Structure 1
Amino acid sequence: MSFMFKPLAYDDHTAINRPDIPASVREDIVFGTVQSAKCIAEKAVSLLESGKSGCVVAVDGYASAKFSDLSGALSQAVRQRGCRVVLRTMDEVYKPVEELDAMVAECLPLNYGEDPVLLFGKLYEGSFSDFIDRGKAEKLLEEMRNLPEKTLMIFTGYGSTSETFSALTDLKVYIDVTPKTAAVRAREGKLINVGDKTPGPFAELMRRNYFVDFEIILKNRKRLLTQNEIDFYICGDHDEDFVLMSGQDLETILTSLARYPFRTKPVYLEGIWGGEFIRKVRRLPSEYKNIAWVFDMIPMEVSIVVDADGREVEFPFFTFIQKCPLPIMGEKCTERFGGYFPIRFNYDDTYHSSGNMSVQVHPYESVCKEYYNEKGSQDEAYYVIATGHGAKTYLGFNEDADPAEFVALAKQSEKDGSDLDYAKYVSHIDSVPGRQVMIPGGTIHASGRNQLILELGSLTIGSYTYKMYDYNRRDAEGSLRPIHSAMGEKVLRTERTSDWVRENIAIEPIPDGEGDGWKQYIVGKTDLMYYQTKQLYLEKKAEFSNNGQFTVLTLVDGEEVKVYSKSNPEFCYRQKFLDIVVVPASITDYVIENMGYQPAVVHKTMLRTDD
């Protein structure tokens, strides 16, 4: 799994959810930036005309939100109603750039020995208040308290709705942006780090985003959502076509959606080892080559789309989670993982590609917490969906291998580009469709060429892949891909050999129930990881219980299945080949019905209940 630094700008319009939204809510949705501004202006002016001498509208948002587009239209609309306007921005109250850089430096260490291209960092634990100069803030607060009669202050910027200013804000507007759009804007130089004056170099900007800016922005958004403080919510992906709704209508839409099986909108990324399977199956435009990763359900990176009378309304998926954690994940999961969706799903595509994924290892819990301030281990799992000739999955060390020798050669290769006979040291299993392997942190592994893998991962907010060997390949810009042998050596569990792999993390399927036209098997389970996987062979239909939590379904073979609530069949989703669908905890018992002419195979993922 990779950070979403350079997603393709392509929009996949197949992942549409159609919950039953009340007609009154659908009719209240406002489309268009100017129309949205007029709606907010009407409310603000009504407050001024009701006796308030002055009114403050705070306009906050996710990274890359276009505040100027809205504030300009809002200012014009208010002046046309005969009111005065005062414009203020968060830039006026941030601490100096040099002070902010020093403050976050601990989260962005310059440790080139362990992190040669400075990809990793430590998650920031503070909030917007740390970025605000108290003297400057007090001066602005005093101005808010003493606004002249019939005067509207439009206060914009990251943190304008934060607790520092919340009590004196009359209307709170939040411009949300999907992570993909934010990443595209960053690549185009349209995103500035919180408190900065100009965009920094792309790699530095995105590193700080992931470990600092996104953290404080998401904490503030969660507070606004959970405390129902948003008066107007805007879907802000499209500059001239904002979509506005009231905070109450946002809650109605998302709580309605949380009763349905749902699918998130995938994001596609090219990579040096990318393949052709997903591109062909999903009919992606021919100009996109080497699709390496498909972020189908990476909770912090994807979005969710709702149909509103034929118009697509798109929200960041994590906004959905922050607003509706209990109906989506259940009480135990929400409490255990702090309100984060604890499993991620993406496709790794090396089908008919130029080579393997890198030989790599991920950190386990103690390293994740110490180095990155993460919540737990970065564990993964591979499920083989399709293979070409000679496909292999590399996992663990060979029984007769010397891991210390492997590490020494990996370090030498990192220095001088010498070739490494990785197959002499790293064991492999032949890949066949339906094979599941679990990959707890510390396990050496790689997905070989010529296969499509469903990759699952545990909850780490960031992504930490220590490449031990990458075949001396160069990236699209011609640079050697970074190797992390120093950190890899720290976490390698050298006792995990081929025998240990077969006994512990590449188990044979275990029967787990059958009925009329279906059989189910446990295919992935280990005490070292908190989720497990199952494989359902389905000819007709089968019923299952969610056990107070969620289940994630992937159609890995077959044409189409329908997933629906047993007690409320109208809560349904028609799932196509390779779609990943979440059955939320709000659905107690669910049905999977095969809608195709051939048998279907459904991969199922859920939290272990025997922890």
Structure 2
Amino acid sequence: MTDKYNNYDKYPEVSIKGYDKCAWQGYEDILKELKQSFSTLKKEKVILVLDFYPGVREEEILQAFTKLNPSLVIKSEDYTYNEDTINSMIKDYLTEDRVFGVLTTKKLQDLFIQEKIEEAQSTIDNLNEGIVLVYGVGASLITKGDILLYFDLARWEIQLRFRAGMENWKANNCKDPILSKYKRGYFVEWRLADKHKKNIFSQINYLIDTNQKDNPKMITGDAIRAGLKQVAEKPFRVVPYFDPGVWGGQWMKEVCGLDKDSPNFAWSFDGVPEENSLYLKFGEVKVEVPSINAVFFEPKKLLGERVHSRFGTEFPIRFDFLDTMGGGNLSLQVHPLTEYIQETFGMHYTQDESYYMLDCGEDACVYLGVKEGIDKDEMIKDLKRAEKGEISFPDYKYINKFPAKKHDHFLIPAGTIHCSGKNSMVLEISATPYIFTFKLWDWERVGLDGLPRPIHLKHGEKVIQWDRDTKWVKENLIDQVEVLTEEDGIRVEKTGLHTREFIETIRHWFSKPVLHKTNGSVNVLNLVEGAEAIVESPSGNFEPFIVHYAETFIIPACIEEYTIRPYGKSEGKEIATIKAYVR
């Protein structure tokens, strides 16, 4: 296990310039600022709208804001359809599957009763003076009011609240398994909320970070919009998070400085804007917002025109960690083909991926593709028997197993059976639809909750590409490194990905500055060798940006060109980055 670097930054920040006095922390200061805003309106009646992302602590917020002594309080949920009706409306999107649903095409307003909204609007109109407080998910569908506040929340914090017993929005399901809550969030709830957020974001007067209990942070709408614009014009990192798992290892504990008392850490998202968040610093106030906000509201600068035209406001590249050092094998799995994910789940692109071996033990391996000449019907039969507990699946009979060493890069186009073995530290570089993993075999394990982990043979057997056998895998997916250029102090290598995959990956080994060009696509990089590096602008368009070993960082497409060179402890030494971009 590597132990020479331990400078990984778990709490990266982006300092926002020009808005130091546009942020407030704590309910007392927030309410004081709002009262000042009321006075500038010079109106007898002030309509204050508090629009929530699903999952914010409603009781906490209402308790604080009723100190404004509103004359009328309106709760948005009173104007939606009831729970049973909503469940019926979204049933087809949730499906009977334990894990997978279908992305909803509905909008948040579809769950509100228009006649009741008109009644609420009439009630507000009939009040002549005082403060009207309208609050809840979709509150601005009733009225935009005089002052509109949006209460935001990071995706990872929502998942932690689900684990602690929180219900989904408009659902009496606090005791449901986390998988059920996550499925409702992923396929329905968050899709509705994100569409709604996009529609009103340009109109909000303030945004409030509600990630910490009883510690809200508020910034003006102008500040958050300017902040996201600044993020999209310079290198940045998202806030990583880490989680244990049944196959988890010990590497990230040491290298990333995690809790030594935790049994393990199985995986980390460090470069997944859909799930990660951003720490934005406004003066002395640090605000946490979902990093997907930068994609939603600055897509052309961040993604590039070409990538934006292809993927819309989705971030197509994902970097994450899979730690099995001292742990166990990942589940044997396969990802859906493009046509399958389109027709079955409503996604327009699939999870092609790759395993970059950031570190390895001596016995590390990767399971990849099927052996030559196997009977596919017999293999499916054995997988089904293993799922029932009748046998232990004889992987050695059907699945290739290849040795792995540090800096190997295994390519895994969708439809290829795969998994990483124990004693590996994988930097997974892939397309973003991360939820669509069809487990075929899980080594007779149960989850951390004591329940059998879901197996998805009904999906998996429909997408396995049986021609991805030993010969094909060796020729197409293993040891595909191609030296592109080499000069004194710099070696540039193409390491993948397969031609079926839209992501290209380039590795640079260097001991002096390297010039990079974004070529119209957002770049995502990781420092895979060396203690430190510094990213600089040849034209001075952004401040120098320091990165450390194993950190993932994002270069917006609009930067066009940048340099990376060894820095600090790495000066005078050879270091390496892996870079991914959309072809």
Q: TM-score, normalising length from structure 1?
A: 0.90
- Please name the residue that 1:223 is paired with: 199
Matched, 1:356 2:336: no
- Please name the residue that 1:181 is paired with: 157
Q: Deviations over 1:59-90 (max 9, x none)?
A: 1122211244334333323x4xxxx5211101
Question: Counterpart of 2:29 in structure 1: which amino acid?
Answer: Q
Matched, 1:88 2:74: yes
Aligned mates of 1:352, 1:189 — CA distance in 2 = 31
Aligned mates of 1:356, 1:296 — CA distance in 2 = 21
Question: Which of 547, 550, 553 matches 1:581?
Answer: 553
Aligned mates of 1:439, 1:540 — CA distance in 2 = 32
Question: Which of 478, 495, 498 matches 1:526?
Answer: 498
Residues 16 and 307 of structure 1 are in contact (CA less than 8 Å); yes or no, is this contact kept in structure 2?
no
Gaps of 5+ in 2: 1-7
**Greater mean deviation of Cα atoms: 301-310 or 238-247:** 301-310
- Please name the residue that 2:67 is paired with: 76
Matched, 1:56 2:30: no
- Please name the residue that 2:564 is paired with: 592
Aligned mates of 1:18, 1:480 — CA distance in 2 = 41
Aligned mates of 1:202, 1:27 — CA distance in 2 = 43
Q: Deviations over 1:508-560 (max 9, x none)?
A: 21122234411110001322111111111011211111112211110111100
- Please name the residue that 2:472 is paired with: 500
Q: How does 1:194-273 map to 2 (within 5 A)?
A: 194-196=169-171, 199=174, 201-203=176-178, 204-225=180-201, 228-273=202-247
Question: Which of 541, 544, 548 matches 2:516?
Answer: 544
SS at match of 2:203: coil
Compared with structure 1, are the counterparts of its residues 209 and 395 closer, same or farther at alpha carbon in structure 2 (3 Å cutoff)? same
- 1:100, distance to aligned residue in structure 2 (A): 0.6
Aligned mates of 1:573, 1:15 — CA distance in 2 = 15
SS at match of 1:280: helix
- 1:570, distance to aligned residue in structure 2 (A): 4.3
Q: TM-score, normalising length from structure 2?
A: 0.94
Matched, 1:101 2:87: yes
**Greater mean deviation of Cα atoms: 477-486 or 248-257:** 477-486
Compared with structure 1, are the counterparts of its residues 198 and 486 closer, same or farther at alpha carbon in structure 2 (3 Å cutoff)? closer
- Please name the residue that 2:380 is paired with: 407
- Please name the residue that 1:14 is paired with: 10
Aligned mates of 2:175, 2:229 — CA distance in 1 = 39
Question: Counterpart of 1:531 in structure 2: which amino acid?
Answer: I
Matched, 1:41 2:35: yes
- Please name the residue that 2:126 is paired with: 146
Aligned mates of 1:308, 1:58 — CA distance in 2 = 24
SS at match of 2:485: strand
- 1:417, distance to aligned residue in structure 2 (A): 4.1
Residues 176 and 234 of structure 1 are in contact (CA less than 8 Å); yes or no, is this contact kept in structure 2?
yes
The RMSD of aligned alpha carbons is 1.8
SS at match of 2:579: strand
Question: Counterpart of 2:157 in structure 1: which amino acid?
Answer: T
Matched, 1:426 2:399: yes
- 1:249, distance to aligned residue in structure 2 (A): 0.9
Residues 326 and 422 of structure 2 are in contact (CA less than 8 Å); yes or no, is this contact kept in structure 1?
yes
Q: Deviations over 1:125-156 (max 9, x none)?
A: 111111112222121121122222x2221111
Aligned mates of 1:200, 1:104 — CA distance in 2 = 20
- 1:310, distance to aligned residue in structure 2 (A): 4.8
- Please name the residue that 2:105 is paired with: 125
- Please name the residue that 2:338 is paired with: 365
- Please name the residue that 1:158 is paired with: 137
- Please name the residue that 2:485 is paired with: 513
Q: Post-superposition, which runs of at least 4 consecutive aligned residues in structure 1 deviate over 4 A?
A: none
SS at match of 1:209: helix
Question: Which of 350, 360, 383 matches 1:387?
Answer: 360
- 1:502, distance to aligned residue in structure 2 (A): 2.3
Residues 417 and 472 of structure 1 are in contact (CA less than 8 Å); yes or no, is this contact kept in structure 2?
no
- Please name the residue that 1:321 is paired with: 295
- 1:328, distance to aligned residue in structure 2 (A): 1.0
Matched, 1:30 2:24: yes
- 1:283, distance to aligned residue in structure 2 (A): 1.7
**Greater mean deviation of Cα atoms: 306-315 or 592-601:** 306-315
Q: How does 1:461-472 map to 2 (within 5 A)?
A: 463-472=435-444
Aligned mates of 1:67, 1:478 — CA distance in 2 = 32
Aligned mates of 2:130, 2:85 — CA distance in 1 = 34
Aligned mates of 2:184, 2:548 — CA distance in 1 = 37
SS at match of 1:129: helix
Compared with structure 1, are the counterparts of its residues 479 and 75 closer, same or farther at alpha carbon in structure 2 (3 Å cutoff)? closer
Calculate percent identity across the aligned residue pairs. 26
Question: Which of 421, 446, 453 matches 1:474?
Answer: 446
Aligned mates of 1:146, 1:194 — CA distance in 2 = 30
Aligned mates of 1:511, 1:287 — CA distance in 2 = 43
Equivalent pairs counted in the alignment come to 572
Aligned mates of 1:136, 1:195 — CA distance in 2 = 17
Q: Deviations over 1:546-578 (max 9, x none)?
A: 112211110111100001222116433211010
- Please name the residue that 2:582 is paired with: 607
Gaps of 5+ in 1: 1-11
Question: Counterpart of 1:450 in structure 2: which amino acid?
Answer: N
Question: Counterpart of 2:519 in structure 1: which amino acid?
Answer: N
Aligned mates of 1:383, 1:216 — CA distance in 2 = 35
Aligned mates of 1:409, 1:475 — CA distance in 2 = 22
- Please name the residue that 2:4 is paired with: none
Compared with structure 1, are the counterparts of its residues 496 and 184 closer, same or farther at alpha carbon in structure 2 (3 Å cutoff)? same
